[in-house]
Amino acid sequence: MAKTSKTAQKKSGDKKTFEERLERLEELGEEIRKNDVPLDDAILAFEEGVKLARTLEKDLEKIESRIEILMNGTEAEDDKKPELGLFDEEE
C-alpha cells in the first residue's frame, strides 16, 4: 500500500512525522548557512528551526520516557536513567 503524500497529510490535518520534521530542520540549517540568503529570510528560517527543535526535543523526551517504562517497568522513577543494557557483554 502506498504512503500518504505530504499534501494529503496536510489536508487531513495529520502532523508531520518526526523524520520529516528533522529533515526540515536540517534544510533550514543549510539555508541559513548560505551566504546569499537575505537577513529577513535567515531570521524566519531560524525562528522556524527553533520551533521545530523544541517540538523534536519534546518528542524525544516522550520516547525516552516510553523506553524507560518498557525497560524498567511502570515503577521506574522519573529521575532514574533507564538501564538499557544494550552494550553490556554477556557472560
| Residue-wise pLDDT tens digits, 9-46 | 444 445 789 999 999 999 999 999 998 999 999 999 99
Copy the grid coordinates of residue 58: 519534546
Q: What is the pTM of this model?
A: 0.59
Residue 5 lies in a domain: no
Q: Which domain holds residue 29?
A: 16-72
Residue 52 lies in a domain: yes
CA distances from 4 to 13, 16, 56 (A): 12, 11, 22
Provide the domain count of the chain. Answer: 1
| Residue-wise pLDDT tens digits, 41-67 | 999 999 999 999 999 999 999 999 999
Query: pLDDT-derived band of residue 2, with 50, 70 and 90 as boundaries?
Result: very low
